[in-house]
Chain A
Amino acid sequence: MNVFLTKPNKKVFPKVLIVIIIFVFIAILNLFQNQFKNFFYFVSEPLQKTFWKTGGNTSNIFVSFLETSKLAEVNKELNIKNQELLQEISTLQNEKMENQALKEIVNIEQEKKFQLILADVMGVDSYQDYILIDKGSENGISENMPVINSQKVLFGKVFKVYKNYSKVMLISNKNNTLNIKIQKDDTLSPPIYGLVRGENNFTAILDTVPLDREIKNEDVLITSSLEGTFPRDLLVGKITEVQKDDLKPFQTAKIELFFNLKQADKLFIISDYKVEN
């Protein structure tokens, strides 16, 4: 007779066994977590891509319907902006001629530096500000590679690589900090540098800008490449509200990030960026 399997023990035993099985199962899942996650993404990829595209199209219909009433106002604003831009164009035409030759050389150099890998967005983890793309280690992706779109708008960097898929940490992720430069018309004054800190929910703030430097709304932020992860001159965002407090050593600002996930079907991963000296 088995002395351990008395009547009360017989009732408890199956429950304990179930708990043990669950924990062993969790341990196995964690041991092979990269393979499991890669497999799940592989199986769900067709459905996920279809839903992603359908969602984008449906939301576009909603947005265009909701914004119809604003069209007149937007049109008026655009007309004014257009006139201003026309004036600017004529001024810039002359400068463009002078800079053309120099620019071409710089561009060629930059093209040489960037090897791009095209990837499709499959999904978004909006709780932690990550996106899932359909390229992984098999396609030459590795951690920390910068991710941009065709307009050179910075999205973030590759954070986790699976065999066929990767997770990209957006610049709005709360664990992300990024060195930026504020683009100014006045090229004679020294450049203004700062730090963009992610705040989750696809938002970020500008920090550590010295108090004596003047920044204003609509100023554009570009990467400065000081941290060595991102190439310089990638578009980051623009300032929407400057917050100056004389008691603090630095000024901060609310910013609007340029990346738009709703229009981000195709992204590019810079696969061979080398830190500039």
Chain B
Amino acid sequence: MWIKLLIIFLLFSLLAILQTSFLTHFNIAQTSPNLIFILFYLIVFFENSQKYIQGIFSAIMAGFFLDILSLLYFGTSFIYLLIITFILKYILDLLNNNKGEYQIIHFTALFTIFFIIYNLLHLTPVFSRFFLIEITYNLFFAILGFYIYKKFKLYA
């Protein structure tokens, strides 16, 4: 478990640096992917909906890095992500999220909803052309992550 948490920490650190430096050069219509949020979402989505350790740890790590890269006070993003973790777990529990054929549909729909919620919490305007492009761009990376996660059975 500790090794897994250490890997999660290292992954978040790497993605934080990658997101603010390398990926900035690959903006599409002035929008860029939020890799930290995507990784956080992947971890919470694939963790057993009855368990919380990885989800909460990811919320702490993702929140920490999102706040360190922005001008927000520490804890702001962590609280938002913690709320998302609990709601997402509750919904996944209701959906009885098995590893079946509908998993990708659940994944995509919930990602879109929670990405909008996350941006609304940060007071980002979500009714704009830019946001539509941003959500599509992020969804692309999220779905890519979904298949990588499944391929390498990272949830096991």
- Whole-angstrom CA separation of A59 from B122 in the bound complex: 29
A163 within 8 A of B: no
B26 within 8 A of A: yes
Which residues, 10 to 58 on B, are CB-close (under 8 Å) to A? 13, 16-18, 20-27, 29-32, 34
Residues of B within 8 A of A202 (CB): 27, 30
B83 within 8 A of A: no
Given contact pairs A30-B75, A62-B26, A201-B130, a sample of 9 additional A-B residue pairs in the complex whose CB atoms are under 8 Å apart: A33-B74, A44-B13, A48-B17, A55-B24, A58-B25, A124-B20, A124-B21, A125-B71, A130-B71
A237 CB, nearest partner CB in chain B, Å: 14
Instruction: Let me know if B30 and A203 touch, CB within 8 A.
Output: yes
- Give per-residue flags for A29-60: 1 if the beta carbon is below 8 A from chain B beta carbons, else 0: 11001001100100010011101101110110
B68 within 8 A of A: yes
What residues of chain B have their CB less than 8 Å away from a CB belonging to chain A?
A: 13, 16-18, 20-27, 29-32, 34, 60, 64, 68-71, 73-75, 78, 122, 124-125, 130
Tell whether A261 pairs with B24 under 8 Å between CB atoms, given A37-B68, A40-B68, A201-B31.
yes
Tell whether A126 pairs with B17 under 8 Å between CB atoms, given A29-B74, A54-B22.
no
- Whole-angstrom CA separation of A262 from B21 in the bound complex: 10
Residues of B within 8 A of A127 (CB): 34, 70, 122, 124
A22 within 8 A of B: yes
Residues of A within 8 A of B24 (CB): 52, 55, 123-124, 126, 261
Tell whether A51 pairs with B71 under 8 Å between CB atoms, given A126-B27, A201-B130.
no
- Whole-angstrom CA separation of A22 from B75 in the bound complex: 9
- Whole-angstrom CA separation of A29 from B32 in the bound complex: 28
Number of interface residues of A (CB under 8 A): 39
B17 CB, nearest partner CB in chain A, Å: 5
29 contacts across the A-B interface (CB closer than 8 A): A26-B75, A29-B74, A30-B74, A36-B68, A36-B74, A37-B68, A44-B17, A48-B20, A49-B21, A52-B21, A52-B24, A55-B23, A55-B24, A56-B25, A122-B21, A123-B20, A123-B21, A125-B20, A126-B30, A126-B31, A126-B32, A127-B34, A127-B70, A127-B122, A127-B124, A160-B71, A200-B125, A201-B30, A201-B130
What residues of chain A have their CB less than 8 Å away from a CB belonging to chain B?
A: 22-23, 26, 29-30, 33, 36-37, 40, 44, 47-49, 51-52, 54-56, 58-59, 62, 122-128, 130, 132, 159-160, 167, 200-203, 261-262
- Whole-angstrom CA separation of A56 from B21 in the bound complex: 9
Residues of A within 8 A of B78 (CB): 26
B64 CB, nearest partner CB in chain A, Å: 8
